[in-house]
Amino acid sequence: MNKKQVVTRFPPSPTGTLHIGGARTALFNWLFALHHNGKFVLRIEDTDRARSSKEAIDSIIESMKWLGLDWDEGPYFQSQRAEIYNEFIERLLSSKKAYYCNCSPDELERKRIEAKERGLKPKYDGKCRELGLGKSPDAVIRLKSPLSGTTRFKDLVKGVISIENEQLDDLILQRSDGSVTYHMAVVTDDIKSGITHVIRGDDHINNTPRQILIYNALGEPIPQYAHLPMILGPDKSPLSKRHGATSVLAYKEMGFLPHALVNSLARLGWAYGDQEKFTVQELIELFSLDHVGKSSGIFNMEKLLDLNAKYIREADDGNLAELLIPFLTNLGCSNLSREKVKGALRTLKARSKTLLEMAQGALFFFKEIDYEKQADERFLIPEVLEILKDLLLDLKGAPSFAQEQLENIFSIFLERHQIKLGKVAQPLRVALTGKTVSPGIFEIMEVMGQEMVIKRLSNAISHIKSKKGP
């Protein structure tokens, strides 16, 4: 007999952006499906019309694409599937597994309060369960849940979980306005998509027995469940903005590479020995729910920054240039030459933790500079004027601006003046970049090219002369 194809799903609610917790859930479902040569379905749970928005949907889809989590089916939208839900509701009604209930909200609230006062669980008392009521304007449809016994399932992460059925009431499947409730929609969608594995956060554990009861009432096979431990900050409290950005697109804007974030997300609750760094292909080949821990994953921004820095250092210069150009553009740079961007990033990639940091560090290559006050006062001083003027003449006559040629020119220049490089390097660095800290002086001169170097050095000489007065 052929083994059933693995099908997983990711069903975000579009009431906000995709956050780290949701992205980790999406990643684990994606990896599990690919590991088993299965299918990954994207479903948008937009039944909450008041809180759902197109902006949130667009943001979620952009986040998924940026992370590289491509889906095989979807996106399906729950708001467009009322007809399918109604078919399943009819199945339950016709098999007497569901019934109409016309108890008013006020009556239910009164009974809930009375139950609490008597120390009982505030659940529906089944008043309409056996009345055989028909459809009416204010009626809801409830599931006829078993009154005794136990609902048990083997969670692929947590182990066996069970709950006594008497703890569960006859949950509402369809509201009086005709809309279906969360549990009914989820089960229907999972059945229609042939979902075999439901991998989700452990905040959904309490939903699982209720959904299993709906599967049983419909006579449908129950998927396997895996509930992932929640993500905590380094201080062991629930992950929040004070631990760093929580929205996936915020990490994109901060200049993280998508693979660095994917790698970090994979390690939140999952491990493969002591290995920290994985290619996407390795993640697909190695991923298993057996290696998902029962304890919470700890998100650490410093570790993510270090990992991102490693991926930047290893990145192909051409690919990195394509990623860096939008950051430079956002910082006001225009008419960018791809080759010059590649040259600039080569001088910075060894010391940059994010693309944004790299872009900020590269601005002096592409925009007019201002001298930092302290750098100006300390290094652009009359005492270096004659040296810089002489250096300018040598650089104007340089046959090429390759690093080796520049090193040769400086060697002759320093010998002639009987000075060390330190005497001229910092004034020159400030003249070219406006700052006292930059990549190597010959590196940046080669990337800038002869024309820009001569122009900036000339400007610095004029600036120093203006300090001396007429």
* pLDDT of res. 470: 56
Residues 387 and 333 in one domain: no
Within a domain: residue 172? no
CB burial of 96-128 (b: ≥16 within 10 Å; e: otherwise) equals: ebbbbbbbeeeebeebbeeeeeeeeebbbbbeb
E strand segments, 195-299: 197-201, 224-228, 231-232, 297-298
Residues 277 and 348 in one domain: no
pLDDT at 207 over 70: yes
* pLDDT of res. 50: 83
Q: Taking the CA atoms of the chain, what radius of gyration do you get in angstroms? A: 32
pLDDT at 18 over 60: yes
Within a domain: residue 264? yes
Q: What is the CATH number of the domain that holds 57?
A: 3.40.50.620
Place of tokens 């479903």: 43
User: Based on the structure, what is the number of domains in the chain?
Assistant: 3
* pLDDT of res. 238: 80
Burial (CB count within 10 angstroms: exposed 0-12, middle 13-18, buried 19+), residue 372: middle
Catalytic residue (one of 4, 241, 277, 367): 241
Query: What number is the average pLDDT over the span 426-452?
Result: 96
Q: Which residues pair with 44 in a beta bridge?
A: 77
pLDDT at 111 over 80: yes
DSSP classification of residue 80: G
Residues 251 and 294 in one domain: yes
Burial (CB count within 10 angstroms: exposed 0-12, middle 13-18, buried 19+), residue 457: buried
Q: Are 343 and 443 in contact (CB under 8 A)?
A: no
Tell which residue, 223, 202, 158, has the closest CA to residue 5.
223
Q: How confident is the model at residue 117 (pLDDT cuts 50, 70, 90)?
A: confident
DSSP classification of residue 296: P
Tell which residue, 280, 255, 214, 216, has the closest CA to residue 70.
280
What average pLDDT does the chain have? Answer: 94
Residues 415 and 358 in one domain: no
Q: Catalytic site residue 277? A: no
Q: How confident is the model at residue 161 (pLDDT cuts 50, 70, 90)?
A: very high
- Per-residue pLDDT tens over the stretch 374-402: 999 999 999 999 999 999 999 999 999 99
Within a domain: residue 462? yes
Residues 381 and 460 in one domain: yes
Q: How confident is the model at residue 129 (pLDDT cuts 50, 70, 90)?
A: very high
pLDDT at 185 over 90: yes
Residues 322 and 294 in one domain: no
- Per-residue pLDDT tens over the stretch 220-229: 999 999 999 9
* pLDDT of res. 123: 85
pLDDT at 241 over 50: yes
Share of the chain above pLDDT 70, in %: 98
Within a domain: residue 119? no
* pLDDT of res. 399: 92
Residues 361 and 372 in one domain: no
Query: What number is the average pLDDT over the span 444-470?
Result: 92
Q: How confident is the model at residue 113 (pLDDT cuts 50, 70, 90)?
A: confident
Query: What number is the average pLDDT over the span 402-423?
Result: 93
The segment with the largest mean pLDDT, out of 5-9, 130-134, 232-236, is 5-9
CA 94-96-100 angle, to 5 degrees, is 90
* pLDDT of res. 469: 61
Within a domain: residue 260? yes
Within a domain: residue 147? no
Residues 386 and 470 in one domain: yes
* pLDDT of res. 1: 35
Among 298, 314, 330, the domain boundary falls at 314
Query: What number is the average pLDDT over the span 131-151?
Result: 94
Residues 466 and 381 in one domain: yes
Residues 309 and 334 in one domain: no
Query: What number is the average pLDDT over the span 124-150?
Result: 94
Query: What number is the average pLDDT over the span 162-182?
Result: 94
* pLDDT of res. 17: 93
Share of the chain above pLDDT 90, in %: 86
pLDDT at 257 over 80: yes
Q: What is the CATH number of the domain that holds 338?
A: 1.10.8
Distance CA 464, CA 455 (A): 14
Residues 376 and 447 in one domain: yes
Query: What number is the average pLDDT over the span 112-120?
Result: 84
Query: What number is the average pLDDT over the span 306-326?
Result: 97
CA 455-459-462 angle, to 5 degrees, is 140
Domain assignment of residue 322, given as a range:
316-367
Distance CA 330, CA 342 (A): 17
pLDDT at 47 over 70: yes
